[in-house]
Structure 1
Amino acid sequence: MVCHYGTDLKEMVEKVKRYTKDGQVANYIPALSKANPDDVGVAIFDGNDTCFSEGNHRHLFTLQSISKVLTLALALMDHGEDVVFSKVGMEPTGDPFNSIAKLESHVPSKPLNPMINAGALAVSSLIKGDTNEEKLERLLHFVRELSGNKQINFNQEVATSEFKTADLNRSLAYFMKQHGVISGDVDVLLDFYTKQCAIEVNCEDLAKIGYALAHHGEHPDKNYSIIPYEIARLVKTFMVTCGMYNASGEFAIRVGIPAKSGVSGGIVGAVPGGVGIGLYGPALDDKGNSIAGMKLLELLSAKYHLSIF
């Protein structure tokens, strides 16, 4: 099989590596501060084989905010749009992903969208399951199905590190509990949320997840659908409008690919009807996005005309 992406990928990875010196690894979660800021990896999946990959593409990293895309899809499958969007809105925000400001200023006090921390906490509270273990196993099964990797699990060290330093997320959760957006024990929710964020993947896993989203939720072997068509469409729309934190507007102009980033340095891209892309680069810009990953996506989009606009 001839893989046209492979021709330029190595050169692109080398080109964007120089930007890593301008970023910093996430240090507010102690376990994430151990990452090597010079790492850059990428994988592109076209539905046949992950035959184009470069750099540190086999390195394991945690989903972090990329998990918000997957819990949103699962919550919509569990409850439908009316229930989910009674708890969280559909509008982008210009504020940082962990801001409480809009919760205070908006009536009703529900989060603006599912891609900010407050919105993701509200969505995570909707995942079906009698216990956190049951909820997590359902989510892990979902991620394993999408990626085709049955070995995917969560990183206990990262989950524990996040749970111990989750005071801002606790504040968001308690505020929403006071206003009836969520109910139940906040620390139980935080336990599930931090484990959700600590699910561990590599670039190839992410590329396959991106491919499934790009193809209306279909499993890569095309025998069955993992995510219903309309839910996959909704999720991709949120990726375009809110997926790159408060850099989403500029990203849409410069890159134009539905994508979601996480503060571990991961980015998943889903080109509608096209390829899935998984990137890793733990050196982050001031918005919390992988600085090399953003540049690499810009190069890929320009070279192969991947923008949806």
Structure 2
Amino acid sequence: MSTGELELDRIKRLLPQWVEASRRLTAEGKVASYIPELSKSPREALGIFIMSASGDSVSGGDCGFGFTLQSISKVFTLILALMDHGEAHVFAKVGMEPTGDNFNSMLKLELVEPGIPFNPLINAGAIAVSSMIGGDSPHEKSARILRFFRELANSDTLDYDIDVYRSESETGHHNRSLAYYLKGNGVIADDVEDVLDVYFRHCSVKATCSDLARMALVLACGGADPLTGKRLIPRRYVQIAKTFMVTCGMYNASGEFAINVGLPAKSGVSGGILTMVPGRYGIGVIGPALNPKGNSVAGVHLLETLSAKLDWSMF
């Protein structure tokens, strides 16, 4: 057996006990309720799917049920905007720095000149990025995003969860305030409701852990799908995205995650986490019970265990 095969064999043997050890932490978390539809998620659920660059996979726990991408989608809309317009255009409207604030905070927009979002993975930044997706209408922009997501996941089954989309749209008052502030600052030029429609839709794309793992694998392999040989993303844009994932991907717990796990990652308030071992694995995790920072409490613990046991940290 190769080294990679030996490691996968070890993961297969030990993953069930690691999952169950982490599952106990779900009792400490809370399912997101500020988007009402998300409150229906099973609090005790925990699942993981790991896919290798050779196409082998290992899964554990409740990895079969669907959940919405939420903020995980921001990684890929950033990449699509970069592919549409290039770095100079995108980063004239969105910064490159962590905030240290909550993902939906308006504080830095008001305090720091010139009033652009600090990075593309907080809500304000992702709303600005959504306005940069190429297309003549919100429908066309959203259709392009969904096609891109499907190509990365190698799956035509990815689609919108209309109930979650409606729930987000009907209750997204804070995001509307962010968007109107951006409009007032000249960061977005399009109609605010049109931009928010694109944003709410890409957050509400429904996927599974295996979809996340395949999308992560493309990033892990520098933008090329190792299972088809097709380059889907320029390498430079993957480098940018992975850097943001390390510095900003786990909200204002990104530094802690970098120390304890040491892998690029992006979480969402549905409880999903997309992460990877560069060059080797794409990983998708779901655990709807969240810690106070908005990350899956059991999912983070499970990734901490895997990284420690398998020496996965990049640092």
TM-score relative to the length of structure 2: 0.96
In structure 2, distance between residues paired with 1:47 and 1:147? 14
**Matched residue type, 2:207:** V
- Could you tell me whether the CA contact under 8 Å between 1:50 and 1:204 is conserved in 2? no
Look up the match of 2:43: 37
Task: Give, in angstroms, the shift of residue 119 of structure 1.
Answer: 0.4
Look up the match of 1:164: 170
In structure 2, distance between residues paired with 1:28 and 1:289? 14
Q: How does 1:54-93 map to 2 (within 5 A)?
A: 54-93=60-99
Task: Give, in angstroms, the shift of residue 192 of structure 1.
Answer: 1.1
Look up the match of 1:48: 54
Alignment of 1:270 onto 2:276 = yes
In structure 1, distance between residues paired with 2:240 and 2:227? 22
In structure 1, distance between residues paired with 2:19 and 2:243? 28
In structure 2, distance between residues paired with 1:304 and 1:123? 36
Task: Give, in angstroms, the shift of residue 136 of structure 1.
Answer: 1.3
Structure 1: which 4+ aligned runs deviate by more than 3 Å?
none
Q: How does 1:163-242 map to 2 (within 5 A)?
A: 163-242=169-248
TM-score relative to the length of structure 1: 0.98
Look up the match of 1:114: 120
**Matched residue type, 2:268:** G
In structure 2, distance between residues paired with 1:167 and 1:243? 23
In structure 1, distance between residues paired with 2:284 and 2:300? 12
- Could you tell me whether the CA contact under 8 Å between 1:136 and 1:196 is conserved in 2? yes
Cα RMSD (Å):
1.0
Structure 2: tracts of 5 or more residues without a match: none
- Could you tell me whether the CA contact under 8 Å between 2:55 and 2:227 is conserved in 1? no
Task: Give, in angstroms, the shift of residue 270 of structure 1.
Answer: 1.9
**Matched residue type, 1:206:** L
In structure 2, distance between residues paired with 1:51 and 1:229? 24
**Matched residue type, 1:6:** K
Alignment of 1:260 onto 2:266 = yes
**Matched residue type, 1:169:** N
Task: Give, in angstroms, the shift of residue 49 of structure 1.
Answer: 3.0
In structure 2, distance between residues paired with 1:11 and 1:68? 32
In structure 2, distance between residues paired with 1:219 and 1:137? 21
Look up the match of 2:20: 14
Structure 1: tracts of 5 or more residues without a match: none
Alignment of 1:102 onto 2:108 = yes
SS at match of 1:74: helix
The one-character-per-residue Cα deviations of 1:226-253 (angstroms, maximum 9, x if unpaired) are 0100000110000000000000001100
